[in-house]
Amino acid sequence: MVSFTHDDPGTSEAVWATGGAAELPELPLDHGELAGRAFIVLAAHPDDETLGAGGLLARLHAVGAAVRVLLCTAGEASHPGSPTTTPEQLAAVRLQEFGGAMTQLLGGREWQCLGLPDGKLAEHREQIRAAVHEAVSEVSTACGAAAGDVVLVAPYRSDGHTDHDVLGSVAADFSAAEGCALLEYPIWYWLWAAPDAPVSTGDPADPASSAGSAAAAWRGWFRLPLTPAEQQAKAAAMAAHRSQVQPLSGLPGDEVLLPAAFLAHFERPWETFAWYPASAPFGHVPSRVVPSRDAPSDGGSPHLYAAHDAERLFDAVHAREEDPWQYTSSWYEHRKRALTLAALPASSYAAGLEIGCSIGTLSVELAPRCGSFLAVDASSTALDHAARRLAHLPAAQTRHLTVPDEWPDGSFDLIVVSEVGYYLSPAELGGLLDRIRDALRPGGTLVLCHWRHPVSGWELDGDAVHAAARRQLGWAGGGIYRERDFVLEVLLAPDTVPDRGARERGR
């Protein structure tokens, strides 16, 4: 747990502005996708909802989405030393202010206060979970939404304030258990974290690992750009929380709780969210992956048909069709390959590696730009097709490998991972990214390209893969292209190799 108080100077908005926060990718939810979902918005205290998600709430209201707001406490402990206002009086004031903010953001639509004690949500996890369950059931019944169409909007689970962390963790656990999507919004995070925070080692035995992971988490988040009208609605809602943005009186103990320097983090023309799409039930392979949608014959868990089961699964796919994804005939695939090649920042590379080459349609265009080129795949059947396609290129080789457990020797200045990452479990993806970190030469290029639609039957989707790569590697962005169907991203390895001991202490 981080330690701070509201009047700590913390990290200024100017530091975040120059540190890359404005360059985060946009949240992949357009107006139609928002309108077609139901949202349960959770706030620990009055003003959390406005600070972290006021612009989102205004947009949801504008597009006609179903929204239910659950406020856990009345925020009565915000001024514990006030000589003029009792906690009971402050609770009444803050609830009135909350109602005013809801009018600005949602037109006064339905909201509910659970009346739990401010600062003590850790003692009321089950009550919160029960309230969330009831709200999800009610909104699902009212608008006919399935669990996967319900989105929980909650504080970031490592925000640093105990009530925020508890509420965020309850929402995250509920989302995972019930198959809901999740948006997490940071608040106090902007005060204590910093854009140059080192990436965690990921080692549970490292006491700094958890804090380091949270401090660097922003690299995997998304921006929601706000329209002028949404910014105005958010500002008006924030002004409604007068007891937080103005002093209660001129006496000690009644000082302003949210000073201008802190509020500057929330006057940006965008909001920031961690995005976790709904977890699809397991039982069939994603349509982007296997056109037949057939599950593996043994059924089973996602780990049974993740990386180490890939050869059996994908050999079966290629046995049914030589080109199961129409790589050679689809305009979508032709266009995506052209964009991938155009995104490479260098005209040529000394050594290239393609992970998951399938039948080699991208490989045959990458290889001529590399002094040496290696294409690997878990499917020997697909690899046979790739080898024939590359036979006229003497510098190109193929190898049957299942990553991340198996990995080629040597180092590379270009590594391409296209339509592969979501076939892995989160742990396997982490292992792959570690392999890439060790194999990519200083200043080298990593290219990621993935389908953005849900991939039922697997634990990850394309956006989650890219967010994990940004978060774990912490490398500079070399460019990103995003559209409804896929995301294409270039990450650049640092020009110098960090000291391994330093990496192990807190990368």
In this structure, are 315 and 394 located in the same domain?
yes
* pLDDT tens figures, 333-351: 899 999 999 999 999 999 9
Helices (H), 125-253: 125-143, 162-178, 189-192, 209-215, 228-240, 242-245
Same structural domain for residues 128 and 88? Answer: yes
Report the residue count for the chain.
Answer: 507
CATH of the domain at 190: 3.40.50.10320
Which residue in 381, 339, 321, 393 sits closest to 357, CA to CA? 381
Residue 84 included in any domain: yes
How distant, in Å, are the alpha carbons of 90, 309, 385 from that of 359?
A: 66, 19, 5
Q: Is residue 230 part of a domain?
A: yes
**How far is residue 261's CA from residue 272's CA, in Å, rounded to a whole number?**
18
Distance between the two ends of the chain, CA-based, in angstroms? 19
* Helix locations, 2-76, DSSP H: 13-18, 31-35, 48-63
Structural domain count, the chain:
2
Per-residue pLDDT for 205 more than 50?
no
* Per-residue tokens: 120: 């003590």
> In this structure, what token pair is assigned to residue 310?
């890939």
Shared-domain flag, residues 388 and 473: yes
Q: Tell me the residue ranges of DSSP E strands in 233-286.
A: 270-276
Residue 497 lies inside a defined structural domain of this protein: yes
pLDDT in tens, 4-29: 566 678 899 999 999 888 888 888 88
Residue finishing a domain among 276, 292, 316 = 276
CB 305 within 8 A of CB 218: no
Assess whether 90 and 149 both reside in one domain.
yes
Ranking 180-184, 219-223, 280-284, 452-456 by mean pLDDT, the lowest is 280-284
β partners of residue 182: 152, 276
Q: Does residue 287 lie within any of the structural domains?
A: no
Is the predicted pLDDT of residue 359 greater than 50, yes or no? Answer: yes
Which tens digit of pLDDT belongs to each residue from 290-345?
A: 332 233 333 333 333 345 556 566 666 666 666 766 778 788 889 999 999 999 99
Please indicate, yes or no, if residue 288 is contained in any of the structural domains. Answer: no
For residues 307 and 429, membership in a common domain is answered with yes
Mark whether 231 and 322 lie in a shared domain. Answer: no
Same domain for 384 and 328, yes or no, is yes
Burial 84-123 (b: 16+ CB within 10 A, else e): ebebeebbebbbebbebbbebbbeeeebebbebebbebee
Taking a C-beta distance cutoff of 8 angstroms, is the pair 433, 371 a contact?
A: no
Rounded to whole angstroms, how far apart are CA atoms 489 and 419?
Answer: 12
Residues 169, 22 share a domain? yes
Instruction: Note whether residue 170 is domain-resident.
Output: yes
CATH of the domain at 403: 3.40.50.150
User: pLDDT of 387-420, one tens digit each?
Assistant: 999 999 999 999 999 999 999 999 999 999 999 9
pLDDT at 319: 63
Are 187 and 156 contacting, i.e. CB atoms less than 8 angstroms apart? yes
Q: At what angle do helices 228-240 and 87-106 cross, to 10 degrees?
A: 160
Question: Mean pLDDT over all residues of the chain?
Answer: 85
Same domain, 262 and 405: no
Mean pLDDT of all residues in 270-282: 74
What is the SS3 assignment for 89? helix
Residue 231 identity (one-letter amino acid): Q
Domain annotation covers residue 281: no
Residue 296 lies in a domain: no
Residue 225 pLDDT more than 50? yes
Q: Are 321 and 441 in a shared domain?
A: yes
Residues 238 and 322 in one domain: no
Range of the domain at 318: 303-506
In this structure, the answer to whether residues 272 and 311 fall within a common structural domain is no
- Mean pLDDT, rounded, for 474-499: 85
- Give the pLDDT band (50/70/90) at residue 503: very low
Cβ atoms within 10 Å of 259's Cβ, excluding its own: 13
